[in-house]
Structure 1
Amino acid sequence: MTNHAILDQTVHQDLRVRVDAGADLGDGVMATLTVPSEFRNIQGHFPILFRREAGQDQFFAVALLGFESGENLFLDGARWDAGYRPLSLAIQPFLVGRPAGGDGPAQVHVDLAHPRIASGDEGVRLFDTAGLATPYLEEIAGKLGDLDLGYRQSAAFFDALAAHELLEPFTLEVTLDDGSVNSLVGFHIINEPKLRALDAAAVGKLHEDGHLMPIFMALASLSQIRPLVDRKNRRRRHG
């Protein structure tokens, strides 16, 4: 259940938001949305995989955080155990909205039903006593803008991948130290042999359009699968 509203300095003068980590605060997810412009920051911590919803043609990218539904191996109680927090998690409970017609400037919306909405004196204020945005809200607005721009630019990236048939299905079976098996299905990755086979003109166009770097970042991120498995094994051993 959601309750979205345009953020208003008068109506929401005293609104506070919890900024700690926690499964009950929306962080208990196996994967979270990311965008090509964020891949450089993501790839040093999380595997980047691609998927599409059933019946849909358009792909989107996710940062993989675990191997089972609701599992985030970077959550250690109320501590975020990674050097980077994906934008799609960092901006909660805020989102970008636009006027009903779809035109006009972006607006900051807040989900008033989100578990990060604080009660009493908990959390961080959004506005100071003069009604001005706090440094926290200014930081959130910047992250919202980055994520929104990255999302709107991502269609061209995925069109380029489709044009060169650079995505291939990816299935992973992970055998853990205790003998249990975790399977990842329904994801795609960059097809490296096809990428290597592209001629100079195609590679040049990908570079010119700004798509080559995120492709390389996505490929590099796959080296994070092994550390993610190690996290899973440690979680199993220590509970």
Structure 2
Amino acid sequence: MSHHALLTAEAHRTLRIRTEADAALGDAQMASIVMPAEFRQVQNAYPILFRLNDQRDRFTALALFGFEAGENLYLTPGGWDARYRPLAMEVQPFLIGGGPDGSGDRQVHIDMASPRIGGDEGMRVFDDAGAPTPYLEGIADRLGALDQGYRDSAAFFAALERHALLEPFTLDVTLDSGATHRLVGFHTIDEERLAALDAAALGELHAAGHLLPVFMAVASLANLGTLIARKNRQASGG
């Protein structure tokens, strides 16, 4: 169970965070939320899929790491096997918080129940004088980018829905071993619909900064084949 607390030098002067990639530290995830602002980096390594939230009133974008719950095919004994790790993974166990009603200044919080709380191991958050370390300053920058990305994403997803650019996606995967997996409940960019947009619609998407992440999401699907290859290597012990 999570235990969120406001991060302060007084309460967390000696706090250390383990930053290595490890299943025991929470990295065994099938997917991670990603923001449209980071799609350019994400598409180099991961497929980008879309999914409705539990209330079915808002889409989120996900970088796909595996084909079943708890599977991260980018997690290896040597660490995270990709040049870019999504912001939502990079900032753990930190998060942005505000007032009880969501108002007020945005502040750095920490999940004190996270396995990344390192005891005597890991990166210092504050120095001996109580000043933020370079590590914490980097985390704050990433949290700011993640928070801004989340705020900006509402307009992006509204544009996708306005132009009917999302379509349901199902993927059946047959491994070399004969084992099968099925991905359901996701959406992808409807490429036929995208190609049929007129100049006015394309101009609107471009002017709002939405067209680039749309094409990055389309390009990212080339990584599905790479992900299947990773699954086959894992299944064969490679």
Q: How does 1:115-194 map to 2 (within 5 A)?
A: 115-119=115-119, 121-194=120-193
Question: 1:24–1:78: structure 2 CA closer, same or farther, 3 Å change rule?
Answer: farther
Contact 1:39 1:214 in 2 (8 A): yes
Shift of 1:235: 0.2
1:200 counterpart residue number: 199
TM-score by length of structure 1 reads 0.98
Distance 2:95 2:54 in 1: 24
Shift of 1:78: 5.5
1:66 counterpart residue number: 66
1:227 counterpart residue number: 226
2:15 counterpart residue number: 15
Cα offsets for 1:135-155 (capped at 9, x unmatched): 110010000000110011101
Distance 1:31 1:12 in 2: 30
Cα offsets for 1:17-40 (capped at 9, x unmatched): 000111111100100100100101
Contact 1:50 1:189 in 2 (8 A): yes
Shift of 1:102: 1.7
- For the residue of structure 1 that corresponds to 2:181, the secondary structure is strand
Distance 2:208 2:104 in 1: 26
- For the residue of structure 2 that corresponds to 1:45, the secondary structure is coil
Shift of 1:101: 2.8
Compute the RMSD of aligned alpha carbons: 0.9
- For the residue of structure 2 that corresponds to 1:67, the secondary structure is coil
Distance 1:117 1:77 in 2: 21
The residue type paired with residue 52 of structure 1 is L
Answer yes or no: is 1:96 the counterpart of 2:96.
yes
Shift of 1:57: 1.8
| Runs of at least 5 residues in structure 2 that lack an aligned partner in the other structure | none
Distance 2:169 2:194 in 1: 16
The residue type paired with residue 191 of structure 1 is D
Shift of 1:54: 3.6
1:84 counterpart residue number: 84
The residue type paired with residue 92 of structure 1 is Q
Cα offsets for 1:48-97 (capped at 9, x unmatched): 00001244221000000000110000001351111111111110000000
- For the residue of structure 2 that corresponds to 1:92, the secondary structure is coil
Distance 2:67 2:208 in 1: 33
Contact 1:22 1:78 in 2 (8 A): no
Distance 2:54 2:110 in 1: 28
| Runs of at least 5 residues in structure 1 that lack an aligned partner in the other structure | none
Distance 2:53 2:212 in 1: 25
- The number of residues matched between the two structures is 238
Answer yes or no: is 1:215 the counterpart of 2:210.
no
